[in-house]
Amino acid sequence: MIKHFIRILLVIIASNIIQSIMIDHVDNDIRTTILSNFQDKPKKELFKVFHFLFERKYDLNSEEGFNRYKTFKNNLKFIETQNKKQSSYKLGITQFTDLTADEFKKTYVNGLTQKNKRKFKISLILKNHLPPEL
């Protein structure tokens, strides 16, 4: 009975993870399409769209908003410069485009993100409490 319950629980968890990944993929496709429609517009307009699409919490008219806009413009220059090179890849606007290199490294490179930490803890809990035959 417990094995059956645990299997059902694992199927539900796996289904939710797969659904989340699929939704994220669709959201990214929509974001990319919308952002591409604003590429030739003033950078300020592109930044407003970015702020909306990635659900940023800072106020656009605040000091943080101004600093994020400067970072966004600097990152756009980097993206444009890199994309002019003959590379096997192309860069684009992502949820990280308003972060400085240091902020990105501290948040995502030097360790797990908060979301991944939770997933990691859940997987450890499940792994350590499942019967060995599962």
Q: Give 41 or 86, the one with higher predicted confidence.
A: 41
Q: Who contacts 54 (Cβ-Cβ below 8 Å, separation ≥6)?
A: 31, 95, 98
Q: What residues contact residue 56 under an 8 Å CB cut-off, 6+ apart?
A: 50, 68, 98
Cβ–Cβ under 8 Å, residues 68 and 56 = yes
- The confidence score (pLDDT) of residue 106 equals 85
Structure tokens at 11: 């199927």
Higher local confidence (pLDDT), 111 or 94:
94
Per-residue confidence (pLDDT) for residue 118, from 0 to 100: 58
pLDDT band at 56 (very low <50, low <70, confident <90, very high): very high
* Domain architecture of the chain: domains with CATH: 2-129 (1.10.287.2250)
pLDDT higher than 70, residue 39: yes
* pLDDT given for residue 112 in this prediction: 56
> What angle in degrees, to the nearest 10, is found between the helix axes of 63-84 and 43-53?
110
Query: What was the pLDDT predicted at 116?
Result: 60
- Region 39-53: mean pLDDT is 94
Query: 3-state DSSP call for residue 67?
Result: helix
Q: What is the pLDDT of residues 60-109, one digit of tens each?
A: 999 999 999 999 999 999 999 999 998 898 899 999 999 999 998 888 77
Residue written as tokens 């908003």? 65
